[in-house]
Structure 1
Amino acid sequence: MRVLHFYKTYYPDTWGGIEQVIRQMCVGTGRLGVTNEVLTLTPDKTGPKEIQFEGHTVHRVPLDFEIASTGFSFAAIRKLARLARKADVIHYHFPWPFMDMAHFMARINKPSVVTYHSDIVRQKNLLRLYSPLKRRFLHSVDTVVATSPNYQASSPVLKRFAHKTRTITYGLDKSIYAQPSQAVKDKWRAQCGERFFLFVGVLRYYKGLHILLDAMTDLDYPVVIVGAGPVEQELKEHAARLGLTHVMFLGAVGEDDKAALLELCYAMAFPSHLRSEAFGISLLEGAMYGKPMISSEIGTGTTYINIDNETGLVVPPDDPQAFAAAMRTLWEQPERAAEMGRRAEARYWELFTAETMARNYLSLYRELALKHANKRAGVRERTV
């Protein structure tokens, strides 16, 4: 079984949540016998065009230009057509409007699945122009995969394609995470303290970190923010205006450091307040490390990971007072927080392992390949 993944960014250029999911898909299904390839765009004009990464091949074509965060590449269309010829299944990752266009321009006629990572939330004017192409693309693929039952139930787009949509949740493989040395853990314990709240992620508008900062105005708990991104400077300035000396911005850190901080933290603070946060990979990482969580109810996968009063606390979105109250509850009730963390880890092992995700996708790949083969056989019989 050969599967070709197509997405706008991937390792080693970017290390975001969707890239992590594709990585886990490739590693997990690779262990089950799938040969995976990833086609992606890169701004690196001089780097290698092909990379071997954790058992799968990454094909990199030049990024020509971007419009509204949508990368375009003329070379990608030709490359997609060539790679698709030897693939059994094409696996698309939505949203990426150029991908829809490339699918038709490359004249793909292979079994196809699209993992629907998120609705398009912010670019409403461009969405009106893009909607006809989006509907045509989603109509043309064989199966659409929602990443949580919460998102499938709340997305108006997925409701339109309910007849071809199924749910396969994200999964993570803890064994491929770094094993930090005692020296690394001691370094971060000395810097961050014995108990601290942790946020990990790209610093984007929908992550709601301004809400977390506002929540901290009357609290003095240590908060560690890991990640870089477009609103980083804006957030630092906001923290300075509020006089938040107990909030630490660490920027992007290495895998050893990230794993150490996940292991050491007291709880995860995840204030995303918009539906652009469709799942929350770092929230799931917190569950994997047995940490209680605080998140907001936004009708997405965050509340499939974090069950209110079971694995953590769920608060209304964009409500600093409610978020502060939840932080105070966890901080002042360590036994309750620890029990929530144990339940979070148990839920991870039950629902969110990479092995489970890989088995589900392999079953889908085989189903689509068989259906396509039977369809082609039927066409041949009718023409004989």
Structure 2
Amino acid sequence: MKVAHVYKDVYPPVAGGIEKHIDGIRRGMPDVESDVIVCSRSRLTSVHTVGTGVEVRVGELGRLLSTPLAPGFPGRLRSLRADVFHLHMPNPLGELSTLAALRGRPIVASYHADIVRQRRLNPVYLPLQRACLRRAGAVVVGSLSLLRTSPALAGMAERAEHVPYGVDLTRFDPERVNAEDREALRRRYGTPLVVALGRLVHYKGVDQLIAAASSLDASVVIAGGGPLEGHLRDLARSEPRVHLLGSVPEADLPLLLAAADLFVLPSVNRAESFGIATIEAQAMGVPAVVTDVGTGTVEAIAPGETGVVVPAGDPMALAGAISALLTDPDRRRTMGEAARRRVLAKHSQNDQVSRLKAIYGRVIASSG
């Protein structure tokens, strides 16, 4: 089987949730040829062998409203030979190119998130998204809440298939972390230790966590890079126990999470559709405080059992929930143990890729 993933960026180097999700799928399918076609963030087009497939990075002229301007993308997409094309949305360039270049080709569409900052364009953009979803042989969602509430998915409950996001449970395993390294990290930053992971972009709400930190008797470590990094460092200057690490190598994330007493996802709007970092933390046995933005952020935990939910955009509520858990080590331990069990049962990457392979096979068979 040969699959071609269609998106705008790739991990590495872009450490976004969708990019890491695609990378996890291709790494989790060593018996499948997995190509990826994205844009290069430069004017040059390049083709590299990665894993079992190729990575095509198409040259672009720049970006407008986060969308690559790449006139050569449809032609490059058309030239790919694959048994099935996996379109990852939202992705205006990929969606236009799919409709223009993949007529008669088998397509699976994963709908990951709504657009928020550019929602004024929805009268034009939603018809494009829905045309792609109708064209697809299968529609995949990682969040049932998103399926129920997204305008793009309205009326598609019968067609859409829920495939929960997965994590590599071998890599994110607390038993594989060296205890001395864990304690060294805790000494470096101080305890109790609160950790947040993610790209430093508007919807992640890292400014809310920095604001909450002024009310906490805890160290806060924030790992991730992005366009807001300079602004957030300015905000954190008055908070000596807030540490912005910038981009952290993927290989270092299990240790960082293992050192945490608590994980926080402080997102502020529907652009955050789930929060894969939350289930990575839960896999490491770390309880979580997450904000409810009306999508799948709450699905990443079992509220009251493996973590706590607070309203989005409320630093005082965030601080209160964090403080309550930090002062109750028995509850944190119970939640952490339940978190690991829940991820093993619901968010295994092996289960995720098995279900996707079955969907690919069905779509390929039905198109023949």
Find the aligned partners of 1:217 and 1:177 in 2 and give their Cα distance: 30
**Residues of 2 paired with 1:73 and 1:45: CA distance?**
9
- Higher Cα Rg, which structure: 1
Which residue of 25, 36, 41 maps to 2:34?
A: 36
Q: How does 1:203-352 map to 2 (within 5 A)?
A: 203-240=200-237, 243-352=238-347
Q: Does the CA-based 8 Å contact 1:293-1:311 persist in structure 2?
A: yes
Q: Which residue of 2 is the match for residue 57 of structure 1?
A: 54
- Give the secondary structure class of the aligned counterpart of 2:170: helix
Shift of 1:196: 0.2
CA distance 1:372–1:172, change in 2 (3 Å): same
Secondary structure of residue in 1 paired with 2:359: helix
- 1:193 and 2:190 equivalent? yes
Cα offsets for 1:93-148 (capped at 9, x unmatched):
00011111111221432111111010111102222232332222222122211112
Residue in structure 1 matched with residue 116 of structure 2 by the alignment: 121
Q: Which moved more, 1:103-112 or 1:306-315?
A: 103-112
Residues 13-61 of structure 1: CA distance to partner in whole angstroms, max 9, x if unpaired?
312211111011112233xx322111111124568x2223333321222
Amino acid aligned to 1:20:
K
Partner residue of 1:80 out of 70, 77, 80:
77
Q: CA deviation at 1:299?
A: 2.2
2:15 equivalent to 1:18: no
- Among candidates 152, 155, 164, match of residue 159 of structure 2: 164
Q: Partners in 2 of 1:20 and 1:121 — Cα distance? A: 21
User: CA separation of 1:110/1:361 partners in 2, compared to 1, >3 Å: closer, same or farther?
Assistant: same
Q: Is the 8 A contact 1:215 1:323 kept in 2?
A: yes
Alpha carbons 1:9, 1:19 under 8 Å: kept: yes
1:371 corresponds in structure 2 to 366
Distance across 2 between alignment mates of 1:28 and 1:279: 20
3-state secondary structure, aligned to 1:224: strand
Instruction: Measure, in 2, the Cα distance between the counterparts of 1:148 and 1:129.
Output: 25
Instruction: Give identity over the alignment, percent.
Output: 31
- Worse overlay, 172-181 or 50-59: 172-181
Task: Indicate conservation of the 8 Å contact 2:287/2:307, yes or no.
Answer: yes
How far residue 168 of structure 1 moved from its aligned partner, in angstroms, is 0.7
Give the letter for the 1:36 counterpart. S
Deviation (angstroms), 1:323: 1.0
- Would you say how many aligned residue pairs link Structure 1 and Structure 2? 366
8 Å CA contact retained: 1:273, 1:317: yes
Residues 81, 108 of structure 1: 8 Å contact kept: no
Counterpart-to-counterpart distance in 1, 2:293 and 2:366: 36
Distance of 2:282 and 2:182 partners within structure 1: 19
Measure the CA separation in 2 of the matches of 1:349 and 1:156: 32
Q: Alpha-carbon deviation of 1:181?
A: 6.3
For structure 2, the 5+ residue unaligned runs are: none
Give the secondary-structure state (helix, strand or coil) at the position aligned to 1:174.
coil
Deviation at 1:185, TM superposition (A): 4.2
Give the match's secondary structure for 1:253. coil
**Stretches (4+) displaced over 4 A:** 44-47, 176-187
TM-score by length of 1: 0.90
- Distance in 1 between residues matched to 2:13 and 2:75, nearest whole Å: 21
Residue identity matched to 1:80: L
1:257 partner letter: D
Tell me if the contact between 1:77 and 1:102 (Cα under 8 Å) persists in the aligned partners.
yes
Question: Shift of residue 308 of structure 1?
Answer: 1.4
The 1:103–1:254 alpha-carbon spacing in structure 2 relative to 1, beyond 3 Å, is same
Could you tell me which amino acid in structure 2 is paired with residue 159 of structure 1? A
Whether the 8 Å CA contact 1:307–1:314 is kept in 2: the answer is no
- Once residues 75 and 183 of structure 1 are traced to their aligned partners in structure 2, the CA distance between those partners, rounded to angstroms, is 51
Deviations 1:137-172 (A, max 9, x none): 222122211112122122222123333211111111
Structure number with the higher helix fraction is 1
Matches of 1:56 and 1:292 in 2, distance apart?
37
